[in-house]
Amino acid sequence: MSDFEKLEIYDDIYKLEEIKTMIKTRSPDVVFIDFIQNVQTS
C-alpha cells in the first residue's frame, strides 16, 4: 500500500496545455488521460 501514498488523481476537465504544464512541473512517472471524460458537447 505504501506504493500508492504519493499517487495523485486529478478528476476534472483540463485543456491540453494545462495537462502539458502539469506534466512538466510535476514530472510524473506515468500519466493516464481519459479523453472521453474531456469530450464536451455543445
Distance, CA of 20 to CA of 22 (rounded, Å): 5
- Name the 3-class secondary structure at 16: helix
pLDDT of residue 20: 92
Q: How many CB atoms lie within 10 A of CB 38?
A: 13
Q: What is the pLDDT along the chain (42 residues), one digit of tens a residue?
A: 577 888 888 888 888 899 899 999 999 888 888 777 556 665
Nearest Cα to 14, choosing from 31, 41, 33? 33
pLDDT of residue 41: 60
pLDDT of residue 25: 95
pLDDT of residue 23: 92
Domain boundaries, the chain: 7-36
pLDDT of residue 24: 95
